[in-house]
Amino acid sequence: MIDTALLIIDVQNDFCPGGALAVEDGSAIVPLINRLQSKFPLKVMTQDWHPAEHTSFADNHADAQPFSMIDMPYGPQVLWPTHCVQGSRGADFHDELETDNVALIVRKGFRKEIDSYSAFFENDRTTPTGLTGYLREQGMTSLVMTGLATDFCVRFSAVDAAKLGFDVSVVSDACRAIDMDGSLGDAMRDFEENGVKITTSDAFL
* Alpha-carbon span 41 to 150, nearest angstrom: 23
The catalytic residue among 10, 14, 115, 160 is 10
DSSP string, 181-196: TTHHHHHHHHHHHTTP
Residues 50 and 86 sit within 8 Å (Cβ to Cβ): yes
Residue 118, pLDDT score? 98
The catalytic residue among 16, 84, 153, 175 is 153
Residue 135, pLDDT score? 98
Residues 57 and 51 sit within 8 Å (Cβ to Cβ): no
Q: What pLDDT, in 10s, does the model give residues 61-79?
A: 999 999 999 999 999 999 9
Contacts 24+ apart (CB under 8 A), 62-69: 67/180
The pLDDT of 149-173, averaged and rounded, is: 98
Residue 27 pLDDT level (bands cut at 50, 70, 90): very high
Q: What pLDDT, in 10s, does the model give residues 68-109?
A: 999 999 999 999 999 999 999 999 999 999 999 999 999 999
Mean per-residue pLDDT over the chain, rounded: 97
153: annotated active-site residue: yes
Beta bridge partners of 121: 128
Which domains can be identified in the chain, with CATH numbers? 4-51+88-203 (3.40.50.850)
Neighbour count for residue 147 (Cβ, 10 Å): 29
The catalytic residue among 16, 108, 151, 160 is 108
Q: Using the predicted structure, report yes or no on whether residue 180 has a pLDDT greater than 90.
A: no
Q: Which amino acid is at 103?
A: A
What residues have CB less than 8 Å from 181, skipping those under 6 apart? none
Residue 18 pLDDT level (bands cut at 50, 70, 90): very high
Residue 1, pLDDT score? 81
Q: What pLDDT, in 10s, does the model give residues 112-151?
A: 999 999 999 999 999 999 999 999 999 999 999 999 999 9
* Alpha-carbon span 176 to 73, nearest angstrom: 30
108: annotated active-site residue: yes
Which H or E run includes 44?
Answer: strand 42-48
